[in-house]
Every structure is written in structure tokens, then in C-alpha cells.
Amino acid sequence: MQPIIECVPNFSEGVDLNVIRQITDQVETVEGVRLLNVDPGKATNRTVVTFVGHPEAVVEAAFLAIKKAGELIDMSKHKGEHPRMGATDVCPLIPIANISMEETAAYAQKLAKRVGEELQIPVYLYESAQPDKSRSNLSVIRAGEYEGFFKKIKDPQWKPDSGPAEFDAKRGGTVIGARDFLVAYNVNLNTTSTRRANAVAFDVREAGRNVVVNGEKVNQPGSLKSVKAIGWFIEEYGVAQISMNLTNINITPLHIAFDEVCKKADARGIRVTGSELVGLVPLKSLTDAGRYFLRKQKRSTGVSEKELIKIAVKSMGLDELGPFKPEERIIEYMLRIPADSKLVNMNLTAFADETASESPAPGGGSISAYVGALGVSLATMVANLSSHKKGWDERWEEFSDWAEKGEALKNELVKLVDADTRAFNRIMEAFGLPKSTDGEKAIRSQAIQEATRFAIDIPFQVMQSAFKSLEVIKAMAETGNPNSVSDAGVGALCARSAVMGAFMNVRINAAGYDDKGFVEEIVNKGREIEQKTIALEQEILRVVNEKIGL
């Protein structure tokens, strides 16, 4: 797997879309970089751009964008609500996959050196890229903003890390660094008062406020760790907002930040009306929020990802100021490769037609995975119905937990539908490799073996997941809503078919694998799972038939 980093530069232009487009066009000229999101804000006069790719490519794209922003944006004429000091105000690099923070910081330092030397823009390093921790905080670096930097940059303490110690009137200065994933999040208030918004911001932000106690100034921390916040008035919307940076969403998640602002605002006679995300957000932030708000209602959390996102959006009013499109705002959705979900994105008729066609894929492995997904979906349905059953209120959490387990297994099996077809295609591709020379034959033989191993592993994963689903199915047959016991029974039939069908695929693919020790081991494990599955299915069907009674 190649290393992937994200870059989220903030440019001091949020009104002129032509300028913004020219900057983002530079990003898209670099091969190996994918532009994910462009989020302009008129009131802040600032645009947040998000792109990802291989580190070397991302650094090149960031350099070109910074260069173009410096050519097009005149900071001497810039006005906006957000603190800023340059045409490219801040440019963080964020590790996404297969790369450490230390390695990401090295790329940020490389970018900063190039911007300072080649473009002659004063550059400051921040967060993990800054070795001097006394000047690693962005707000400390940016204090005084554009207007104050003409004097600040002359202070030896504030000599740039790269570039000239002269403040560029047109381009300003730039801050480049490496940091963890940050969520930029604004909460809307039913007031126009910046002062009152700031009071709420100081209540919640980790830095809090300074207060006088017994004649001495002391710091009174806010209620939320890893949160930076200020209050401002957004003329575009006609409301004040609490503008927050959630710097560690594992410590303070999105939903906790929202609820705490609601609590502190309410204490000051202010009402929260909604909120907005700036840029992209991890999927987990919204699914966790959905579960959080469902639990507050004492409703089952074992619902689909789509439903969890819908609950999160409505609960936090993420669509108050404009439509919230998950496919454009969730980073995992933006990184998805459509071909990886070709089958599961089909409707039922198209899937059946594709299966019935003369193409050998999807075949038995994909069908087994889908049958297993349907089986555990039935059990999840029973769990959700039971959680919401009138008179069973005290048991809602018990059934919610079963529904969550079922939903997780359903998602695993759905992913394996396409994975099994990809495994078959890899074998076909390996057999299609050239074999004219001994070297080509060796490469082809190795590729066939690697593809075959993958084609064994995938249906074995189907067996494991479908077998695990029987625990949920059995529990729902025994304790779930008795009116839905037949659904649990059908779920058991599906799970058994999924296990047995997948095992056939394990065996037929294993026949072409050279490592006979591995083949014997995997087949023995498969037989054990198959036998346990048949026995469990019989137990479940006995319970189901006894409850049906006829």
C-alpha cells in the first residue's frame, strides 16, 4: 500500500470563484493527486480546499497552489471574519494511510523550505513540523494577523523558518505544518451578538478565559478538551456562530461539542439553531453522532450507516444553512473507488441479470456472501422491531446491542460480495500474463498462486461472517418479537446456505493452490465451521417451528 497524505490549505479568497478555480486547477494538474472538496465562505472570505495523494505529489500540488494564490490574491485589499495572515494562510499536511506523523512532518518541512526559497514568501512551521514548541501553535503564530506582521516579523523571536524576514504586502505570510485530522465546525446561534457568541466560545474552548480572582488574573479553562473556539457574526447568514476546531475528535467528538455548546448557550439565554461543517469529516464522526442521538431517544442503534448519518445531520442541524450531501462531505465516501462496489450498487433486477449473464462473475462466492447478508439482515430487523416493541421498553438496549452486531456482520458480508468477484478477476488476469520466457513464466506462476490464495481467503471470510451471524439469528429466534420468529428462521436458512456455498468456493479454489499444507488446514477449518453451522441451524429451526406451532 502506498502512503497517502491529505492537504487542507486555506486560501484568503471566498468570493471570486474564478480565482478559486484557478488555484484548484493547479492542484488537478498533478498526477497522483485527487481533489476532494472546495468549500468557499463569503463572510470569512476564505476557501478551504482538500486533496489527497502520494506525499511527493501532494507537496508538488500544494506548492503550485500556494504559488498561484500568491499571484492572484492581494492581501492589502483583503477583508474577512476569519483570522488570517497570508494569501495561503495555512497549509497543513495530515497522515491518512501507511505513513507516520514524523514522516508527514518531514514533507511539510520540505514544502516550507521550497516555498520560502523559491517563492520568497515568509513561512512558519506549526504543530508536528515545528521543532520549537514555543512557536508551534497556529493561533500564537498568527496573532496580530496580516496587519500586525509588518512589525512582528522584524522581532528576532519571529524570524520565519523559511523565506525572507520581510513581510510581503501582497502575499503576506504562510504557515505550513503537519497535524492530526482536524474537524472545522461552526454552530449557529439565534443571536447577532459577537460578544455573546464569544462568551459561549470561551465557556467551551479548552483555553477558556482569563478571570480575576482576589485581584490576580488566572485562567479558567473551558469545558471541552482539544477544542479551539471563537465567536463571530456571519453577515451572509445574518447570525452569530461559534467557530470551532476540533483538534482531536477521539477526545471531543462532534456530537459532544454540539451538545456542550447547546448547554452553555442555553445557560446564557441563547438557542442553537443548527450547525455546519467546513471541509470534510470522517465517516465515524457522523455514525458515532447518529448512535449518540438514538441512544438519547432510547432507540436501537443497529440501523444502517445511511440512517445513522441522517439522524446525525438532523440532530445537529447540519443542513440548516444549505443541503448536506454525505457523498461530498465524508472523506471515506470521497475516496471510494466505484468499481469496488459495482455489484452492491446495482438494483435487485440488475444484480440478478448480471448473475444470469454469460459472464462467470458474479458466481457462487458472491451469491453466498449476499445470501448471508440477507440472512443476518432479517435477524437485525427482528432485533430492531423488538427494541421498539410496545411494553418491552426496559429491554430496548439489549435488542439494540444485537441489532448493532447484526448490522456490522451485514456490512462485512456486503463488502465480500464484490470482493469475491474481484478475487475471481485477479485469477483471470494472472492467467492472462505473458509466458514467452522463463522469467515471464515465473512471474505468471507466482501471480496465479497469489491470486488463488486471495480467492481462497475471501469465501473463507464469508464462511466465518455467516457463521457468526447465527449467534444473532439464534438469539432473535429465542428472545425476539414472537411475531417475527419466522424471519429469524429464514435468516438461519440463509446463513447455512452462505456457509455451505462459500465452502464449495474455498475447496474448488484450493484445488489449484500449491501449498498443500495450507490447503489441508483451511479445508479442515472449513469442515468444522460447516458442521457447526448445520447443527446451529437445526437448533434454530426447532425453536422457530415450536413457536409457530402448526
Q: Is 255 a catalytic residue?
A: no
Residue 1 above 70 pLDDT? no
Grid cell, residue 363, equals: 458466481
Residue 257 clears pLDDT 70, i.e. is over it: yes
Return the pLDDT at 369. 97
Round to whole Å and give the CA distance between 88 and 24. Answer: 12
Min mean pLDDT across 85-94, 286-295, 353-362 is at: 353-362
Q: What is the mean pLDDT of the chain?
A: 94
The residues spanned by each domain of the chain are: 4-178, 183-335, 338-548
Across 349-371, average pLDDT: 92
Distance CA 379, CA 406 (A): 7
- Choice among 39, 82, 259, 487 that is catalytic: 82
Give the mean model confidence (pLDDT) for residues 302-313.
96
| pLDDT for 339 beyond 70 | yes
CATH no. for 4-178: 3.30.990.10
Region 326-352 average pLDDT: 86
Task: Could you please state the CATH topology (level 3) that the domain comprising 338-548 is classified under.
Answer: Four Helix Bundle (Hemerythrin (Met), subunit A) (1.20.120)
Mean pLDDT across the stretch 397-420? 96
List the alpha helices (DSSP H) in 388-515: 396-431, 438-479, 485-510
Instruction: Give the CATH class of 183-335.
Output: alpha beta
Tens digit of each residue's pLDDT (9 = 90 or more) over 422-437: 999 999 999 999 999 9
Residue of 168, 418, 420, 487 marked catalytic: 420
Maximum Cα–Cα distance for the chain, whole Å?
90
Indicate the range of 131-140, 301-310, 476-485, 516-525 predicted with least confidence. 131-140
**Dist. CA 287–CA 425, nearest whole Å:** 33
pLDDT digits (tens, 9 = 90+) for 18-71: 999 999 999 999 998 999 999 998 888 999 999 999 999 999 999 999 999 999
For residues 224 and 205, the answer to whether their CB atoms sit within 8 Å is yes
Residue 81 binned pLDDT confidence (cut-offs 50, 70, 90): confident
Query: Catalytic site residue 420?
Result: yes
Exposed, middle or buried by CB within 10 Å (0-12, 13-18, 19+), for 346? Answer: middle
Domains 4-178 and 338-548 share a fold: no
In which region does residue 226 sit, left (phi positive, over 0), alpha (psi from -120 to 50) or beta (all else)? left
Between residues 239 and 334, the one the model is more confident about: 239
pTM greater than 0.85 (yes/no): no
Mean pLDDT of 134-153: 92
What pLDDT digit, counting tens, does each position of 166-179 carry?
999 999 999 999 99
